[in-house]
Amino acid sequence: MPELPDVEIFRRTAETHALNQAIEAVEIDDQKVAASSPQNLSESLRGYWFTEAKRRGKYLLMPTSGETVLVMHFGMTGWLEYNQGDKPGYAKATFNYTNGYSLHFINPRKLGRLYITDDIEAFCQYMKAGPDALALKEDAFMERAQKKKGMIKSALMDQSFISGIGNIYSDEICFQARFHPKTKINDLSEIQLVRLFHAMNDVLQTAIEHHAIPEKMPAHFIIPRRKEGEYCPRCGGAIKKDKRSGRGFYFCPHCQE
Ligand SMILES: [Zn+2]
């Protein structure tokens, strides 16, 4: 599932290629991706242009020269492609520009959504999207974290607490901060919470620097080692998978307590 670093890469694609050119037509190839009606989506965008590409957690926000903002959520898997010519496979929506190029919203496993809003803050509140994990400052994080209950991993993945982190990056943050994912966040001392905050920032920034490609992550990351039989890059011990909770999580029982 695309998480904050992935969506940041999509945001950069949109920012580099897809701004300040008039949208000639919007093609919706799968009605389910349009959270409002495809007609409304098309009418809100046609003749206008995207002025900015912003991000909040896993949402890509594209304000237009009109009154509205297009919001993209990539669901289980998805990405953006900008090209001239053939429509790529799994393109569920296409924004055609007057210059002959198109921006494609690709979504192979569905569950991706396109929304139209005229108020980003109201939209985020309605979707219960908390502050973006990379935009959150240390003191604001501490204030929120000190009131939070539950396991560290669940807290990191709770989009209303912090937005942008999912299954894969929450494992990496716990690994880098050396906390067992099931440790209760309210059992952490102030110093430990600061450590968690810095691990969160380092992991997300580093992932973006490596274009959010798992195989290209640095050697001290466990993301490329999410397999049973793999070894911990820190201590050389076996990586464990805990299968009890949903999709399961990976950790090193020796390094994470
Ligand atoms: Zn280890």
Condensed to tens digits (0 to 9), the pLDDT of residues 17-42 reads 999 999 999 999 999 999 888 888 99
Q: What does the angle CA 162 – CA 7 – CA 208 come to, to the nearest 5 degrees?
A: 90
| Domain termination residue (choose one: 62, 91, 126) | 126
User: What pLDDT band is residue 255 in, cutting at 50, 70 and 90?
Assistant: very high
Ligand 1 centroid distance, CA of 236 (Å): 6
Q: Is residue 202 part of a domain?
A: yes
Return the CATH number at 173.
1.10.8.50
Same domain for 243 and 164: yes
Q: Is residue 132 part of a domain?
A: no
Count of C-beta atoms within a 10 Å radius of residue 198: 15
Ligand 1 centroid distance, CA of 180 (Å): 11
Condensed to tens digits (0 to 9), the pLDDT of residues 129-188 reads 999 999 999 999 999 999 999 999 999 999 999 999 999 999 999 999 999 999 999 999
Q: Is residue 194 part of a domain?
A: yes
Same domain for 47 and 12: yes
Q: Is residue 22 part of a domain?
A: yes
Q: Is residue 78 part of a domain?
A: yes
Same domain for 122 and 10: yes
Ligand 1 centroid distance, CA of 240 (Å): 10
Same domain for 98 and 24: yes
Task: Identify the pLDDT of residue 111.
Answer: 87
Query: What is the side-by-side strand order in the sheet with 102-106?
Result: 23-28, 91-97, 102-106, 79-83
Ligand 1 centroid distance, CA of 223 (Å): 13
What range defines the domain where residue 193 resides?
138-251
Contacts of 126 (CB under 8 A, 6+ apart): none
Strands (E), the chain: 23-28, 54-56, 59-63, 69-73, 79-83, 91-97, 102-106, 113-117, 240-242, 249-251
| Domain termination residue (choose one: 78, 99, 126) | 126
Q: Is residue 256 part of a domain?
A: no
| Domain termination residue (choose one: 81, 98, 126) | 126
Condensed to tens digits (0 to 9), the pLDDT of residues 55-96 reads 999 999 999 999 999 999 999 999 999 999 899 999 999 999
Q: What does the angle CA 159 – CA 219 – CA 247 come to, to the nearest 5 degrees?
A: 40
Same domain for 14 and 111: yes
Return the CATH number at 69.
3.20.190.10
- Give the count of domains, the chain: 2
Ligand 1 centroid distance, CA of 235 (Å): 4
Which residues form the catalytic set?
2-3, 58, 247
Q: Is residue 131 part of a domain?
A: no
User: For 240, which DSSP code?
Assistant: E
Same domain for 79 and 148: no
Same domain for 241 and 143: yes
Same domain for 121 and 94: yes
Question: Is the predicted pLDDT of residue 240 greater than 80, yes or no?
Answer: yes
Q: What does the angle CA 60 – CA 62 – CA 66 come to, to the nearest 5 degrees?
A: 155
